[in-house]
Amino acid sequence: MLVLLDRADCPVATPARPWDRLMARVRASRLDSDLARDASPDSTVALALRAQMLVSERTRRNVADSARRLLATAMGPPAADRSQTPASDRSQTPPADRSQALAPGGSPASPAGSLLAYGGRGPQMPAARRPRVPVCRDRVRESAEELGDLIRRLLADGPVAARGVALASALLRDGCGPLYHRANADDVRARVREAVTALDPLTG
């Protein structure tokens, strides 16, 4: 496998060894941080390989699914309410209609509710699993429109820039970030909009 690196403003084909591919996976978090900070994906073999992984359809769909699960958690009933339901009652309760229950304010016609129910490509809403760290539900709800734009852009046909996927992935998985950590004062809507803009290959 060959990757193109930028050497003195001249693309150079460089072989990627199995060890390089392994290290690109092992160091994924660090490489994502570098790409999110606008490091050139053409500067090293590891960054080039990681960038290729990020823009793949599989990774884009995984990041979009993470955003949908986050929305489902924020718009559903609090975890404390679910945990108080006896196991016997839960086993006898029919599943709710997510297209109705997950829309903000109970409105199935809202853009966020539509994304949660259908994900833009047919009924495929992932289950709302309880996150390992609490979600700042109000911040997620306030950013529902921007998160919806992010999901649609990730799932759309056509190329995307690795930096945009890295920014989105870092925001969604950072337990110390503004989506989960109340003391983090970053503007969630601005962070999501930054990721959406950076997905454009011409500007990202």
Q: Are residues 48 and 62 in the same domain?
A: no
Alpha-carbon distance of 204 to 189, in angstroms, equals 18
Residue 120 binned pLDDT confidence (cut-offs 50, 70, 90): very low
Q: Are residues 36 and 109 in the same domain?
A: no
Residue 18 binned pLDDT confidence (cut-offs 50, 70, 90): confident
What total number of domains does the chain contain?
Answer: 2
Count of beta carbons in the 10 Å neighbourhood of residue 196: 20
Residue 3 binned pLDDT confidence (cut-offs 50, 70, 90): very low
Q: Which position has the token pair 């962070």?
A: 191
pLDDT at residue 67 is higher than 90: yes
Parent domain of 28: 1-54
The H or E element spanning position 15 is strand 10-15
Q: Supply the pLDDT for residue 7.
A: 52
Chain segment 124-147, per-residue pLDDT in tens: 444 444 446 789 999 999 999 999
How far CA 177 is from CA of 12, 53, 145, 162, 183, in Å, comes to 37, 23, 19, 20, 9
Q: Are residues 62 and 40 in the same domain?
A: no
| Tokens, residue 30 | 């660090």
Question: What percent of the chain shows pLDDT beyond 90?
Answer: 50
Q: Is residue 94 part of a domain?
A: no
Q: Which position has the token pair 């306030």?
A: 142
Closest CA to 114 of 65, 148, 137: 148
Per the CB < 8 A criterion, the answer to whether 59 and 168 are in contact is: no
| Tokens, residue 204 | 């990202």
The residue length of the chain stands at 204
Per the CB < 8 A criterion, the answer to whether 55 and 162 are in contact is: yes
Average pLDDT estimate for 7-18? 56
Q: Are residues 104 and 172 in the same domain?
A: yes
Q: Are residues 118 and 204 in the same domain?
A: yes
Per the CB < 8 A criterion, the answer to whether 142 and 188 are in contact is: yes
Q: Are residues 30 and 64 in the same domain?
A: no
**CA 178-180-186 angle, 5° bins:** 5
Which amino acid, residue 45? Answer: V
Q: Supply the pLDDT for residue 44.
A: 85
Q: Are residues 37 and 136 in the same domain?
A: no
**DSSP H stretches of helix in 103-183:** 111-118, 137-142, 144-155, 162-173
Does pTM top 0.85 for this prediction? no
Q: Is residue 66 part of a domain?
A: yes
Residue 4 binned pLDDT confidence (cut-offs 50, 70, 90): very low
Q: Is residue 82 part of a domain?
A: no
Q: Are residues 136 and 150 in the same domain?
A: yes
Q: Are residues 119 and 36 in the same domain?
A: no
Q: Supply the pLDDT for residue 134.
A: 86
Alpha-carbon distance of 178 to 196, in angstroms, equals 17
Q: Is residue 124 part of a domain?
A: yes
